[in-house]
């Protein structure tokens, strides 16, 4: 019955969209193809769009109701595909896909750049004290932990001491190297962060869905899967752990590596040498630009919804569905 209602809604939406360029709406499906990196990139640009932070409670309810009407086949005449895609974008940006609970604004993916940029600026401040180093690392990992948990399905200090003791470096080289110190600290801490924040998924399993979006069951094997069909047994688990670790090393790379390179060049310009007070605002803008570029590129590497063959899952999961594959939300 639900399928018939959805088909009727799709037909109504198609009739209202005869002259628009928006693709036909598909409930619960991405607007852009997820088989290509560019399609995932465009999809995640919608997910991290900071404009969704300003959506009112009333607008969110309207978006959710519009999608519910589409699902039930009671969509009012004249609703366009663009309106449906916009409603789904709002829902996906604000509500968790598994629980449908509202994600706290600073921990949404759409809030990651505006709320995370000040922390990145703090991490990259030159000539930090021990106290400031510990504070910014603590704040960064606390924010990351909250983002990881909200979207769920090794310290800098020791490196700074080594850099300070590297007498063979010139002062300029030592300063440049010191600016790169946050990267290995953040990368290594990120690995521990994800494991700690999402360890419960490995213990309890995650929900897997059939092709129609119906819950099939909860699978521990899917929780260990990272999107590689055919990775089985101990070797597959090791591969999953390695890929997760490598991903968490790569993610902060553009954010914490590019700004020091850019700033080392900008600081030599006559403008900043004559006006040193502009250093912090300029560094903030550089970090914001790097963050805004790096985040959608990084999270576009893999689709958010992953697929796995039922033959690789627990026997009770395989028996519960006639489909060859199931899908699950691997989180962001």
Distance, CA of 216 to CA of 213 (rounded, Å): 9
Please list the ranges in the chain whose pLDDT falls under 70: 1-20, 152-203, 224-251, 301-304, 330-332
Contacts of 226 (CB under 8 A, 6+ apart): 239, 240, 243, 244, 302, 306, 330
Contacts of 187 (CB under 8 A, 6+ apart): 248, 249, 251, 252, 253
Asked if residues 23 and 31 have their Cβ atoms less than 8 Å apart, the reply is yes
Asked if residues 123 and 182 have their Cβ atoms less than 8 Å apart, the reply is yes
Whole-prediction pTM: 0.57
pLDDT at 134: 79
């Amino acid at each position: 019955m639900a399928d018939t209602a959805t088909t009727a809604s799709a037909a109504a939406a198609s009739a209202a969209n005869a002259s628009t360029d928006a693709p036909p709406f598909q409930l619960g499906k991405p607007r852009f193809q997820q088989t290509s990196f560019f399609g995932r990139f465009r999809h995640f640009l919608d997910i991290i769009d900071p404009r969704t932070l300003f959506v009112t409670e009333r607008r969110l309810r309207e978006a959710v109701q519009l999608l519910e009407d589409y699902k039930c086949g009671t969509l009012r005449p004249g609703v366009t595909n663009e309106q449906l895609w916009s409603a789904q974008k709002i829902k996906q940006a604000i509500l968790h896909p598994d629980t449908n609970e509202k994600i706290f604004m600073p921990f949404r993916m759409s809030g990651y750049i505006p709320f995370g940029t000040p922390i990145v600026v703090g991490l990259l401040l030159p000539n930090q004290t021990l106290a400031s180093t510990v504070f910014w690392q603590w704040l960064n990992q606390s924010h990351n932990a909250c983002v990881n948990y909200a979207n769920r399905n090794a310290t800098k200090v020791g490196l700074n001491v080594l850099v300070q003791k590297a007498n063979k470096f010139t002062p300029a080289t030592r300063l440049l190297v010191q600016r790169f110190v946050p990267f290995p600290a953040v990368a290594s801490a990120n690995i521990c962060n994800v494991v700690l924040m999402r360890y419960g998924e490995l213990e309890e399993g995650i929900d897997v869905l059939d092709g129609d979006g119906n819950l099939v069951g909860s699978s521990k094997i899917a929780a260990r899967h990272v999107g590689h069909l055919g990775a089985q047994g101990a070797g597959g688990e090791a591969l999953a752990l390695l890929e997760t670790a490598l991903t968490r090393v790569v993610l902060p790379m553009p954010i914490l590596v590019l700004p020091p390179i850019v700033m080392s060049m900008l600081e030599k310009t006559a403008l900043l040498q004559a006006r040193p007070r502009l250093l912090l605002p300029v560094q903030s803008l550089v970090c914001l630009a790097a963050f805004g570029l790096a985040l959608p590129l990084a999270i576009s590497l893999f689709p958010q919804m992953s697929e796995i063959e039922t033959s690789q899952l627990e026997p009770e999961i395989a028996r519960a569905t006639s489909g060859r594959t199931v899908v699950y939300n691997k989180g962001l």
